[in-house]
């Protein structure tokens, strides 16, 4: 048996994906999120621009406190009145930031949905999971009556790879394994056939053999439904596995963004490079991992210049005073480091 | 019950664990005839998914949990039967770095007080406390004055350094690291892994390093145990395990790590209920290479052609390099 090798130029088009002429499904521009912590203003997201097209996977990669989870929760406006936002989140024709709360609720779960990290916290422990799925369908008026909801719920459970949907639909969350619960959470997220799926560390709580099943499921659903995926993770290998494009976040900002392979194999920002170097590989000598000195800044810390300057091997005096802009460094690839990417007169 | 010719540790045997077994009152078989040794100055890695019994095994080695049967010998002392002064000496020389330093430090004591507590418990003379603690904090990459901080004033990485200092302050021979770097960000994890390697080179301490993270275990370990559903399914040197895994579970585990090279072996389903494990080989319900024999006979650890130990019937019938058989 010979394993098929990837030949350039023969990559099949995603069957479910609409024509490439369509613009981005979700376009986030200049998003900021500020929390009020007892009178202290904490700027957790400082001007994020991302866009994701139909059938495309964008991964937000970052360490704890980088603002990656806050970014996707802000897109869904989950913080309500406890946060202040600027910028726009354009989904289709609408700017979610301009909608009133009732209108946001109608969109949430319907055209844009989220898969949480820990399904234990999002599933109701007291009701069978099938009922919870039916509720979403009926709430958004996707089905007419209870019977149709029941049938659609079973279809969705089968869609996410659950072997005996009828039995699982009647089970309570505690009767299911972690992987099964995450499949149910994904079924709920895709119930109304959203155009954008947000996922916050959806496999972090799972074992590695189950994690690979769930990541495969995302790819499979995207192919079948043409859904845009915005996935948040701290795990470089998860990003490498699912991303078409990767956006690296540090201290509330995107420091690098581009095609996954380019960003992960030829990073143009010192932080991305350092993060990749810090991962143990078969070739790295014990005791000589290239660690990044110091630790990531606490969320909301203020900076005058580049947020990574204190830990950066390339930092110059100007880095501590001039905030770097996210500028193109290659085709579709942007990085916020003028030192690593000096401007060449074109 | 280790078969002859097993890849044993190179140096003096420090810890010898024989046939440890533990079944919890709810029927969960957390450890089933687990045997291994750790040599002086060696790192033995233990990998496996949640519920495979790796932490239960660690707790029994530390005598935080009484096994149903089996033996643990540490530096010539029978750990499970030691009492009084002998047990105390075992505890001094056998320390733990837990996963989450936020919950393992008393939030109302300074880091220094927590470290001193460990010295006091082992009867170290009070006049030496300050210098011993300062010295160990500095060795672990903290400043001596950071000892006067409370746990919440330190970052996760700093606090894990303090937890390592707390374990090493009594001069142990073996430190059990139970997911000791799992809660840390990658950029900080590398610092702590480097620190552990440096301390081992300087102090000659051995590690029993438990983690679910394959790349971390490969990096830090000399030898690795792979556990599945309470049993050791493979034991090998770190290099040969990752280059040439013998057991089907190890192969699947390595291939399903995202970004792993080669063809992925996708396991169906999830680990079975440990309270009701399958007969014969516990992995047979998910194994792509399952045979009739697997349900009937429990495979024992045998020396593989590559020189590792693996508990699989295939090893006896197949050549060393298992070409992936068609799952049909």
Taking each helix axis from N to C end, the angle separating A208-225 and A178-189, rounded to the nearest 10 degrees, works out to 20
- For residues B54-59, average pLDDT: 93
Question: With an 8 Å Cβ cutoff, are A280 and B270 in contact?
Answer: no
Q: What is the pLDDT of residues A273-331, one digit of tens each?
A: 999 999 888 778 888 899 898 888 877 777 789 999 999 999 999 999 999 999 999 99
Those residues with Cβ within 8 angstroms of residue A9's Cβ, 6 or more apart along the chain or in another chain? none
Of A215, A282, A296, the CB nearest to B187: A296
Altogether, the residues listed in chain B come to a count of: 328
Average pLDDT, chain B: 88
Sheet architecture: strand order including B231-237: B94-97, B174-178, B206-211, B43-47, B223-228, B231-237, B309-310, B302-303
Q: Which residues of chain A lie closer than 8 angstroms to B155, CB-CB? A: 295
* C-alpha–C-alpha distance, residues A105 and B256, integer Å: 38
What average pLDDT does range A121-146 have in this prediction? 92
Encode pLDDT of B157-196 as tens digits.
899 999 999 999 999 999 999 999 988 888 889 999 999 9
Q: What is the pLDDT of residue B167?
A: 96
Q: How far is A140 from chain B (nearest CA, A)?
A: 32
Nearest CA to CA, how far is A343 from chain B (Å)? 28
Mean pLDDT of A98-120: 90
Average pLDDT over residues B61-78: 95
Alpha helix (H) residue ranges in chain B: 54-61, 84-93, 101-104, 111-121, 129-139, 156-168, 186-203, 214-220, 238-243, 248-256, 292-296, 314-317
The Cα angle at residue A231 between residues A16 and A131, in degrees rounded to 5: 75
Q: Which residues of A touch B267 (CB under 8 A)?
A: 209, 213
- B279-306 average pLDDT score: 91
Q: How far is A344 from chain B (nearest CA, A)?
A: 31
**Chain B residue with minimum CA distance to A63:** B185
Contact partners, residue A225, CB within 8 Å, separation at least 6: A16, A190, A193
pLDDT given at position B316: 54
Instruction: Kindly determine whether residue A208 and residue B188, on different chains, have CB atoms separated by under 8 Å.
Output: no
Nearest chain B residue to A212 by CA distance is B256
Distance, CA of A198 to CA of A332 (rounded, Å):
22
- pLDDT confidence of residue A24: 84
B116: DSSP letter: H
Count Cβ neighbours within 10 Å for each residue of A168-203 and write b for 16 or more, e otherwise: bbebebeebbbbbbbbbbbbbbbbbebbbbbbbbbb
Cα–Cα distance, B327 to B295 (Å, whole number): 17
The three-state secondary structure class of B39 is: strand
Continuous segment of H or E residues that includes residue B73: strand B69-74
- CA nearest neighbour of B238 among B99, B4, B43, B33: B43
Cβ distance of A234 and B185 shorter than 8 Å: yes
Residues linked to residue B312 through DSSP beta bridges, in sequence order = none
DSSP type of residue A2: P
Residues 6+ apart with CB under 8 A from A70: A33, A44, A45, A252, A299
Dist. CA B258–CA A235, nearest whole Å: 9
Calpha distance B125→B141 (Å, rounded): 25
A 10 A CB-CB count for A4 gives 8
SS3 A152: helix
Residue A7 clears pLDDT 80, i.e. is over it: no
- A207 or B236, higher pLDDT: B236
Chain B CB contacts of A241 below 8 Å: 258-259
Taking contacts as CB-CB distances below 8 angstroms, the residues of chain B near A261 are none
The pTM of the full predicted model, rounded to 2 decimals, is 0.84
Place of tokens 């300050």: B130
pLDDT band at B225 (very low <50, low <70, confident <90, very high): very high
- CA B278, B283, B288, B293 torsion-angle sign: negative
Residue B218 has pLDDT above 50, yes or no: yes
């Amino acid at each position: 048996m010979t394993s098929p090798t990837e030949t350039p130029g023969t990559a099949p088009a995603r069957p479910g994906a609409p024509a490439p002429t369509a613009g981005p499904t979700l376009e986030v521009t200049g998003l900021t999120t500020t929390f009020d912590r007892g009178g202290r203003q904490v700027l957790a997201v400082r001007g994020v621009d991302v866009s994701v097209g139909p059938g495309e996977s964008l991964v937000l990669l970052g360490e704890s406190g980088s603002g990656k989870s806050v970014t996707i929760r802000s897109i869904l406006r989950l913080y309500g009145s406890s946060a202040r936002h600027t910028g726009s989140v354009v989904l289709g024709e609408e700017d979610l930031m301009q909608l009133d709360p009732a209108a946001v609720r109608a969109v949430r779960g319907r055209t844009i949905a989220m898969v949480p990290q820990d399904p234990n916290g999002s599933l109701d422990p007291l009701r069978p999971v099938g009922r919870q799925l039916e509720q979403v369908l009926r709430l958004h008026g996707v089905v007419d009556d209870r019977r149709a909801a029941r049938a659609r719920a079973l279809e969705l459970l089968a869609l996410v790879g659950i072997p005996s949907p009828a039995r699982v639909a009647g089970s309570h969350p505690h009767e299911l394994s972690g992987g099964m619960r995450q499949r149910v959470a994904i079924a709920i997220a895709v119930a109304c056939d959203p155009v954008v799926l947000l996922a916050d560390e959806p496999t972090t709580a799972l074992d590695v053999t189950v994690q690979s099943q769930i990541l495969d499921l995302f790819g499979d659903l995207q192919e079948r439904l043409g859904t845009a995926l915005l996935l948040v993770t701290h795990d470089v290998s998860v990003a490498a596995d699912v991303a078409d494009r990767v956006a690296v976040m540090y201290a509330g900002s995107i420091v690098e963004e581009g095609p996954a392979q380019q960003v992960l194999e030829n990073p143009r920002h010192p932080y991305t490079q350092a993060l990749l170097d810090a991962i143990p590989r078969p070739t790295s000598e014990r005791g000589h991992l290239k660690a990044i000195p110091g630790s990531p800044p606490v969320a909301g810390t203020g900076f005058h210049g580049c947020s990574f300057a204190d830990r950066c091997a390339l930092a110059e005096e100007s880095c501590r005073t001039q905030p770097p802009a996210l500028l193109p460094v290659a085709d579709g690839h942007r990085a916020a480091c003028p030192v690593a990417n000096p401007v060449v007169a074109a | 019950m280790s078969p002859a010719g097993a890849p044993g540790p190179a140096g003096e045997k420090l810890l010898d664990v024989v046939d440890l077994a533990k079944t919890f009152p709810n029927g969960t078989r957390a450890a089933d005839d687990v045997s291994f040794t750790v040599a002086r100055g060696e790192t033995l890695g233990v990998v496996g998914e949640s519920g495979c019994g790796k932490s239960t095994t660690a707790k029994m080695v530390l005598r935080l949990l009484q096994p149903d049967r089996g033996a643990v010998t540490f530096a010539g002392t029978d750990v499970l039967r030691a009492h009084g002064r002998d047990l105390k000496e075992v505890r001094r020389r056998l320390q733990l770095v837990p996963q989450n330093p936020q919950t393992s430090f008393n939030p109302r004591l300074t880091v220094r007080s927590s470290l001193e507590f460990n010295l006091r418990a082992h009867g170290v003379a009070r006049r030496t406390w300050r210098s011993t603690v300062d010295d160990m904090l500095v060795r672990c990459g903290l400043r001596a004055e950071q000892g006067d901080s409370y746990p919440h004033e330190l970052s996760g990485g700093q606090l894990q350094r303090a937890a390592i200092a707390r374990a090493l302050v009594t001069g142990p021979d073996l430190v059990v690291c139970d997911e000791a770097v799992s809660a840390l960000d990658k950029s900080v994890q590398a610092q702590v892994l480097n620190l552990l390697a440096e301390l081992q080179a300087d102090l000659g301490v051995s590690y029993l390093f438990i983690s679910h993270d394959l790349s971390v275990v490969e990096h830090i370990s000399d030898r690795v145990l792979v556990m599945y559903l309470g049993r050791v399914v493979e034991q090998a040197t770190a290099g040969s395990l990752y280059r040439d895994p013998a057991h089907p579970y190890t192969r699947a585990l390595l291939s399903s790590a995202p970004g792993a090279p080669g063809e992925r072996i996708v396991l169906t389903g999830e680990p079975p209920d440990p309270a009701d494990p399958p007969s014969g080989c516990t992995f047979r319900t998910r194994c792509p290479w399952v045979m009739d024999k697997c349900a009937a006979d429990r495979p024992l650890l045998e020396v593989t052609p590559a020189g590792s130990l693996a508990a699989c019937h295939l090893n006896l019938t197949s050549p060393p390099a298992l070409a992936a058989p068609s799952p049909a």
